[in-house]
Amino acid sequence: MSDKLRPVRCGCGGEAIILKADEYHQFPDTYYVSCTKCTAGVGPYDTEAEAVKAWNRAMGERTAKVVCNGTTMGLSFCCGNCGKPVHSEGKYCHHCGAKLEWSE
């Protein structure tokens, strides 16, 4: 594999690794890239190269405004890029890697 994995951008301190699903997995013989500490990850992909390309695209330079959604449990902050919940002190979305822009 010639392409290098970009670092995890959410600030968790984890490392990106390539995983191959075994025969007991829902999608056997497919590839994933996942963080060793948080929930960031991409996959399944048919080839290792496709998984690396998807990860690097997800961890690329982009920004997203944080949006506030009201829920039955109170307020939640979500990434304006992927729509998934983000931590209130986060600098990057740990789902898609976008740099978070917090409004005052």
CB 67 within 8 A of CB 74: no
Q: What single-letter amino acid sits at 20?
A: K
Average pLDDT in the chain: 80
Decide if pLDDT at 88 tops 50.
Answer: yes
Q: How far apart are the first and last CA of the chain?
A: 44
Give 23: exposed, middle or buried? Use CB within 10 Å, 0-12, 13-18, 19+: exposed
Tokens of 58: 């997800």
Could you give the residue ranges of the DSSP H alpha helices within the chain? Answer: 48-58
Decide if pLDDT at 68 tops 80.
Answer: no
pLDDT of residue 67: 78
* pLDDT single digits (tens) 6-59: 988 877 889 999 999 887 777 788 999 999 998 788 888 999 999 998 888 888
Decide if pLDDT at 2 tops 70.
Answer: no
Neighbours of 86 (CB within 10 A): 25
Query: pLDDT: is 97 or 55 the higher one?
Result: 55
Q: What single-letter amino acid sits at 43?
A: G
pLDDT of residue 69: 65
